[in-house]
Copies of this chain bind each other. A is one copy, B any other.
Amino acid sequence: MTTDEQFLQFIHYGHQRFIPHLTLDCTIFGYHEQQLKVLLVKWRGINGWALPGGYIEHEETLTEAGSRTLEERIGIKKLFLQQFYIFGDSPYRTQILTKEKLVELTGWSIPIPEDCWLIGRQLSIGYYALVNHLSLEVKPDFFTQEYQWCDINELPELLFDHTHIIDKALETIRLHLYSKPIGANLLPRKFTLPEIQFLYETLLGKSLDRRNFPKKLFTLGLLNKLNERRSIGAHRSPNLYEFNQENYEKALEEGLVLVM
């Protein structure tokens, strides 16, 4: 099929495959060395950055829809996505998308039928993931023209209400930090205490006490002290640590309470 044929198919028959009025948007946070970034994409023909997202098929679970969307859009497989909110209250989400607005937004020159399934209210289910973005190889598909990992403190103006979605995702992650262990996929296997503290500080967007914070992780039994040091300078060779696998898994399952 040519591109135009693909678009025509989507516009005319998309509702046979997808649930109308409901999309999902994925906020993928990437952490590496004290920087927190978010994955933004630019759709072909649309001038503006947005989160990767898509529609949900009639016969797939929401979890499957999330995985399929990421795989199709940016070639990423098997990312653990966490559902966190459904967006339907913001001014953008309560507007009815008209045919005219749809043309303006997409720049499509293809004729759009009056009763096109894409017209109407658009709600969005928010998912987030937190990864070491150096470990992800992004392979954009035809519809994704460009992508970037953008520092969360330097976000450009985004399409739709995607800035609001990122804010809410960050708020949710911060809340989860108090009840779930994190870090296993974000830090090197052996890490220093400053490294894990930087991770928490970056996610929380605030400083934590240098003496109390590690103590709390020890109290929860999350860290094993290794008999190894890293040499990073003349008089600096901080001790290395690793996660205590058993306690980490247990905390993932049962939850924990971390006071910071």
Contact = CB atoms under 8 A, between A and B. Distances in A.
Given A21-B19, A121-B58, A255-B175, A63 B89 contact: yes
Given A175-B255, A178-B178, A257-B257, A88 B59 contact: no
A240 interface: no
A85 B96 CA distance: 24
A26 interface: no
A58 B125 contact: no
A75 interface: no
Interface string A1-40: 0000000000000000001111000000000000000000
A258 B259 CA distance: 8
Nearest to A63: B89
A88 B21 contact: no
Nearest to A180: B175
Contact of A86 (B120, B125, B255): B125
Interface residues of A, number: 32
A125 B125 CA distance: 10
A60 interface: yes
Nearest to A19: B21
Given A178-B257, A179-B175, A88 B56 contact: yes
A135 interface: no
Interface string A171-189: 0000100110000000000
B89 A61 contact: yes
A62 B89 contact: yes
A207 interface: no
A168 to B, nearest CB: 11
A114 B178 CA distance: 50
B19 A121 contact: yes
